[in-house]
Structure 1
Amino acid sequence: MTENKNKKLFKYRMLAPLWIAIFIDVLGFTILFPLVGFFGELFETNNIVIGLIFSVNAMFGFVFGPILSKLSDRYGRKPLLLISQFGTLFAFVLTAFSNTLWMLIIARMIDGMFGGNFPIAKAIISDKVPPKDRGIQMANVGIAHVLASLFGPAIGGFFFTFFGLLGPGLFAAGLTVITIVVTISMLEETWPKEKRLHSHKRTSDVSLKVRENKNALFMLGLWAFHTISFTIIMSSLSFFSVTVLKLSVLDVSFVFMISGIFRAGVRFTLFKPTIKKLGETNAIRVGLVIFFVSFFLIGFSSNVVVIVIIFMFVSFAASLTRGPMNSKISQTASPKIQGKINGLSSGLDSIAQIIGPLAGALIITTLPPYWLGIIVALIALPAIVMSFQNIEKKKYDPTANLINHSMER
């Protein structure tokens, strides 16, 4: 059985350049992410302003990501992926040479505007992989994140310590150049002109069907509470480490790296046996409870060892919940509108990324640290309550759909 799954995982070798490109792209992001807590001192401002800048970055991504995806339907995946990568390259270079706050703001705006890499990557997978294998191939995106988190934070901390922002910025830019070369030379166009000419537009009824799908709306609501609480904590870690724990750049990078190592270990060892034993639904419930307890305890922690241990549990909870919850969301909708339902869950992630950095920085700067744990745990609580509402039964029912259509007629 395991052998068959491994064969499926590496079945579509034509996607190998895409996995290389995604891994390098994520590595560039993980190099800079742990450094965010030090930007306030570097640019002589406060954490709230830095949090706002990174929220604006996510806001631009929320607006422009779908636009780039739609343009890829019209002009092909490869050209738009390259445009996105060149935009990311320019943003990294501008970040590296940022010596004023306005340069950093412009760099983050540009990065958000051209942040269409992942939606286009999902479209490429959808072009080449049939629905029955698509979930397994989508898992490779998660694996790229896990592997990148092993090396990125340490690289970023090292270069920032010895070269300032110039070091990690240029290193990330160099990685993006490699991504562009791989895309140009190795990645084939999966949505050629002949397919584009014969493609037909979906009707506006798709949005209506999702709005009328109570199971889909329920699972999307559950995901919203989870992903907002999760993103606030993750985007606050660098601020918390600097402001509360008083850690150095290398110390913060070490915390992120340890979390990444544990997450990789869980992903490749404990994940499958745990899911097999508990089942997806119970795994989600256990993971959400672990999140709630961990988020609450973070606010009362003032020791780096305790924080590292807590984030080990957070990593375990992430493995148990995020993938299975996405699977549950996709099961609430018709196969004909999978793109729409997955787009809505991705949109909620983008909203969480807009809220997260600003909310985290605001709480840490204006309130005692324990309020971070209390507020985020309260946001996470509704997801736990909702998860016990028979989510295993909230699936797409084609029979009910047919009845609704006949009543409309």
Structure 2
Amino acid sequence: MIDEPAGMIGAPLAGARRLGAVSFIFVTILLDMFALGLIAPILPKLVERFVDNDTASAARIFGLFGTAWAAMQFLFSPILGGLSDRFGRRPVVLLSNFGLGLDYVLMALAPSLTWLFVGRVISGITSASVSTAFAYIADMTPPEKRAAVFGKVGVAFGAGFILGPAVGGLLGGIDPRLPFWAAAGLSFTNTLYGLLILPESLPRDRRTSFRWKNANPLGALHLLRSNGVLAGLSVVNFIAQLAHVVLPSTFVLYATYRYGWDATTVGLTLAMVGVCSMAVQGAAIGPIVGRFGERRALLLGLGCGAIGFLIFGGAPTGPLFWLGIPVMALWGVAGAATQALMTQLVAPDQQGQLQGATTSVQSVSQLVGPFLFTLTFAYFIGAQAPLKLPGAPFLLASVLLVLALAIATRTLAGMKSGR
């Protein structure tokens, strides 16, 4: 553990100014996720139009788009994190917001599939600034309050992904390019807001030099290996993120295949997931962590996630699937607790590097997860399967979280006494 809490470096930014700064980060992430959500229902259709409405070709190309986006997150998250440790959080966050706005303009004007792909690559680079936003929160927040603040920021992720696709679908019905213009406008507005509101959270005397060996993805892992507990928590975080990929990669196919749900029912179910997640992130994490501490909250969250996936995979009917949603929502406690514990294990001038390395690790899960879970689903509903088990991907995710729970229990046992 470091001698001085990282949150102390933000002490001069107290009161209303401090609240405004943290609120800006919340709004930044909300608008980033909202902008990503805006184009989510439109981008696949736009790709399809570029390939003469060949759905099979569009699906393959869109998969390539997703892989390229995750690869950029993997490569550039530690670079942006290292730059924020060297030059401060503010310029990195603002330049990333501005760059994301320019990127949406590029995609709105893209005359070909190649230019649209270039735009998607740039989007993966600029969206990597989320790691810097988390480092900003670590700067500004005392260690004992970070889990609750990280939880509230999780509300921004949920709200953005709930509202964005809905609005994007409406705008796309008017013009398929309109959601990109709207996303660009949000990013530029956010940049201007930050120029006026956002103070710097990392003083010059707490900054560190930029080193390429720490900023590349493999070099960034050195920080995660520098402490046994940090390494263990990083493994837990990776496994948990890998398990989470089962939802975006197989949920729609699974729900349609097993329960015969139409698009409306699928959409309402996703909205229910988002609402429950937001409720936990915004209102429950603070009290849970306050009562049990970060360590027990982490174990509780992983346990609820494992049970939730078990319900999802085993539910023979749709209503039984819905019963698992509030249980699954409590998994969100684990993510906030993990973030809070990890930020307490590095120095103030390494928060950006930590968040960049963590985001890179998560990006690997986004590269591996879709193949793991879609192939599992395809195998267990195929003719060659020893038994028909459409819920196999969710059961696999449950097993992964049980493994993460076991590793977390052993890792946390090695920490010094305390929360």
TM-score past 0.5 threshold: yes
Partner of 1:377: 398
Matched with 2:19 is: 13
Aligned equivalents of 2:15, 2:324: Cα separation in 1? 31
Which amino acid letter does the alignment assign opposite residue 355 of structure 1? V
Matched, 1:70 2:94: no
How is 1:124-273 mapped onto 2 (pairs within 5 angstroms)?
Answer: 124-125=136-137, 137-160=149-172, 162-163=173-174, 165-190=176-201, 195=204, 199-201=207-209, 211=225, 213-238=227-252, 240=254, 251-273=265-287
Shift in CA distance, 315/136, structure 1 to aligned 2, threshold 3 Å: closer
User: What whole-Å deviation, never above 9, does each CA across 1:197-221 have from its counterpart, x for those lacking one?
Assistant: x845389899767535322222222
Distance 1:58 1:213, change over 3 A: same
- Contact persistence 2:34–2:160 (CA under 8 A): yes
Provide the C-alpha distance between the structure 1 equivalents of 2:240 and 2:15, rounded to a whole number of angstroms. 28
The one-letter code of the counterpart of 1:371 is A
1:76-121 CA-partner distances (Å, limit 9, x unpaired): 5444333322332233344456686545432321101222321332
Letter in 2 for 1:228: L
The CA deviation string for residues 151-184 of structure 1, in whole angstroms up to 9 with x for no partner, is: 2343234334x24643433332332232122123
User: Does residue 311 of the first structure (1) align with residue 325 of the second (2)?
Assistant: yes
Deviates more, 1:300-309 or 1:52-61: 300-309
Correspondence for 1:401: none
5+ long unaligned stretches in structure 2: 1-13, 215-219, 382-389
Is the counterpart of residue 298 in structure 1 residue 312 in structure 2?
A: yes
Q: Take 1:83 and 1:93, find their aligned partners in 2: how far apart are those partners?
A: 15
- CA-CA distance at 1:315 after TM superposition: 1.7
* Structure 1 match to 2:10: none
User: Are positions 1:80 and 2:86 aligned together?
Assistant: no
SS for the counterpart of 2:183 is helix
Q: Which residue is 1:394 aligned to?
A: 414
Aligned pair count reads 384
Cα 1:108–1:202 change in 2 (3 A) is closer
The 1-side partners of 2:346 and 2:363 are apart by 21
What is the rounded CA distance, in whole Å, between the counterparts of 1:31 and 1:107 in structure 2? 15
Provide Cα deviations, 1:278-331, integer angstroms capped at 9, x if missing partner: 55444333332332233244345576555444333322222x211112233344
Secondary structure at the aligned position of 1:395 is classed as: coil
Cα distance per residue 1:260-291 (max 9 Å; x no partner): 22222233444444445555444333332332
Q: Is the 8 A contact 1:92 1:107 kept in 2?
A: yes
Residue 62 (structure 2) pairs with residue 54 (structure 1): no
CA shift at 1:366, angstroms?
A: 6.1
Matched position secondary structure for 1:114:
helix
- 1:383: how far off? 0.9
Structure 2 residue matching 1:378: 3-state secondary structure? helix
Once the 2 structures are TM-superposed, how far is the Cα of residue 63 of structure 1 from its aligned partner? 0.9
* Cα offset, 1:9, TM superposition: 9.4
The alpha-carbon distance between structure 1 residues 136 and 378, as it changes in their structure 2 partners (threshold 3 A), is closer
Distance 1:171 1:288, change over 3 A: same
| 1:12 CA drift (Å) | 0.9
Residue pair 1:233, 1:360 contacting (<8 A) in 2 also: no
- 8 A contact 1:233–1:295 mirrored in 2: no
**Which of 285, 289, 292 is the equivalent residue of 2:299?**
285
Q: How does 1:323-402 map to 2 (within 5 A)?
A: 323-332=336-345, 339-364=352-377, 368=381, 369-389=390-410, 391-395=411-415
Relative to structure 1, the CA distance from residue 165 to residue 342 in structure 2 (aligned partners, 3 Å threshold; closer, same or farther) is same
Question: Partner amino acid for 2:19?
Answer: R
Q: RMSD over aligned Cα, in angstroms?
A: 4.0
Instruction: State the match for 1:117 in structure 2.
Output: 129
The residue type equivalent to 1:24 in the other structure is L
Change (3 A) 1:393 1:153: same
Q: Which runs of 5+ in 1 are unaligned?
A: 1-7, 398-409
For residue 32 of structure 2, what is the aligned residue in structure 1? 25
Q: Which amino acid aligns with 1:17?
A: F
Higher deviation after alignment, 214-223 or 271-280: 271-280
Code of the aligned partner of 2:66 = F
The alpha-carbon distance between structure 1 residues 115 and 281, as it changes in their structure 2 partners (threshold 3 A), is same
AA at the equivalent of 1:155: V
**Is the Cα–Cα contact under 8 Å of residues 51 and 361 in structure 1 kept in the other structure?**
no
TM-score, structure 2 length as denominator?
0.73
SS at match of 2:331: helix
1:186 partner amino acid: I
